[in-house]
């Protein structure tokens, strides 16, 4: 069924859709989110339908003020309080024990809930005006690259959701760091722009679960990280040095390149993005994938970076885009 999608900059209008049990895509500092009232089970169910998201994959609840964590979670441990004091608002999601009043559909039936306070004025005003807490995954069709522009949201969800709260390009470009605070020491389940060393600066025992091997004993991953993700239509190939991409450039194929170093002859490529640094690379990568799809690119070469700090989060997304 197709519904009319209202595209607006009017925060109050968007909030009214949310209050009426409808879905509203809204900007955050990481990527655009697809929001529903987290206390309204029917509204939350619409998120899974609109995205084609597996119902076993839990959603993050977005709060407009740090004290609203009490509306979503109970028995909040001291480690989580310390992370909140240092990093809320910001690109960090805390996994906590779910408050009984919250729809269990939000957490896919789990006893836990992911909570985050976005560092984006429009997002915070939207949540405040809605007068509730907002369950929201990234506002893309399941499996597609996360949306960093409102146009990308429209591309995936026009006719499937009631409203897009239109704003600028998101600043971070990769989804939040997810850290499980129901265990001690806390464990990073999904890397993001809040890095392991930043978290360790607050809770030194914090660890990272790479979870590459399902049999490994380094703890569970965030369920979402086991699903196919971030995948453009084009084939994604990771290259260590630019020369590899150039050598591999078959003239009959439409190819693209994103990385930190410019290839010697960019005319080999239909599209290129030479990032000014790691921050720009992270901010640009998902929209670059989408641009490539729009242009009918067949192969996207992504230059690898060191698996450190923001680079760890970036390579996590790029490797999963490359895994077929």
Q: Nearest 10 degrees: CA dihedral of 155, 156, 158, 160?
A: 180
**CA neighbor of 36 nearest in space, from 161, 157, 159, 199:** 161
Residue with tokens 């990769």, as numbered in its chain: 174
Q: Work out which of 25, 36, 38, 58 binds ligand TXA, going by CB under 6 A.
A: 58
Q: Which residues of 290-312 are buried (b: 16+ CB within 10 A; e: fewer)?
A: bbbbeeebebbbbbbbeeebbbb
Q: Does 138 bind Mg ion (CB under 5 A)?
A: yes
State which of positions 212-231 bind ligand TXA (CB under 6 A). Answer: 222-225
With vertex at residue 47, the alpha carbon angle to CA 162 and CA 11, rounded to the nearest 5 degrees, is 40
Find the shortest distance in angstroms from Cβ 182 to ligand TXA: 8
Q: How many CB atoms lie within 10 A of CB 212?
A: 9
> Minimal distance in Å, beta carbon 41 to ligand TXA?
16
Work out the angle at residue 191's Cα, subtended by the Cα atoms of residues 54 and 243, and round it to the nearest 5 degrees.
105
> Judged by CB under 6 A, which of 72, 79, 93, 284 binds ligand TXA?
93
Given 176, 193, 195, 284, the residue binding ligand TXA (CB under 6 A): 176
Residue (117 or 270) nearer to ligand TXA, CB = 117
* Sole residue written with tokens 């806390």: 186
| Residue number with CB closer to ligand TXA (46 or 297) | 46
What secondary structure letter does DSSP report for 280?
H
We find the least distance from the C-beta atom of residue 218 to ligand TXA, in angstroms, to be 15
Q: Which of 124-132, 173-181, 193-201, 316-324 is the region at the interface with ligand TXA (rule: CB under 6 A)?
A: 173-181
Q: Hey, which residues between 172 and 211 contact Mg ion (CB under 5 A)? A: none
Applying CB under 6 A, the residues found at the interface with ligand TXA are 28, 30-31, 33, 57-60, 91, 93, 95, 107, 110, 112-114, 116, 136-138, 175-176, 178, 189-190, 222-225
């Amino acid at each position: 069924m197709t519904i009319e999608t209202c595209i607006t900059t009017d925060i109050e209008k968007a909030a009214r859709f949310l209050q009426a049990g409808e879905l509203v895509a809204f900007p955050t500092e990481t990527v655009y989110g697809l929001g529903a009232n987290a206390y309204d089970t029917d509204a939350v169910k619409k998120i899974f339908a609109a995205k084609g998201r597996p119902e076993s994959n839990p959603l993050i609840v977005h709060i407009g003020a740090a004290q609203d964590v009490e509306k979503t979670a109970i028995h909040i441990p001291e480690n989580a309080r310390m992370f909140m004091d240092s990093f809320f608002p910001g690109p960090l999601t805390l996994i906590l024990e779910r408050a009984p009043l919250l729809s269990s559909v939000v957490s896919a039936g789990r006893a836990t809930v992911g909570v985050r306070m976005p560092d984006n004025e429009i997002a915070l005003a939207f949540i405040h005006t809605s007068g509730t807490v907002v369950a929201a995954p990234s506002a893309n069709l399941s499996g597609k690259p996360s949306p960093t522009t409102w146009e990308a949201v429209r591309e995936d969800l026009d006719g499937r959701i009631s409203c897009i709260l239109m704003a600028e390009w998101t600043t971070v470009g990769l989804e939040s760091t997810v850290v499980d605070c129901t265990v001690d020491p806390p464990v990073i389940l999904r890397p993001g722009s809040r890095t392991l060393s930043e978290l360790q600066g607050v809770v030194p025992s914090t660890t990272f679960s790479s979870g590459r091997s399902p049999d490994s004993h380094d703890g569970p991953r965030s369920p979402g990280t086991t699903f196919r993700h971030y995948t453009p239509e084009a084939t994604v190939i990771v290259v260590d040095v630019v020369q590899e991409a150039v050598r591999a450039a078959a003239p009959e194929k439409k190819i693209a390149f994103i990385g930190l170093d410019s290839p010697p002859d960019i005319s080999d490529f239909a599209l290129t993005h030479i990032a000014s640094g790691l921050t720009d690379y992270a901010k640009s990568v998902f929209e670059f994938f989408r641009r490539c799809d729009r242009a009918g690119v067949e192969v996207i070469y992504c230059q690898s970076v060191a698996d450190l700090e923001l680079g760890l989060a970036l390579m996590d997304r790029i490797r999963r885009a490359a895994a077929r």
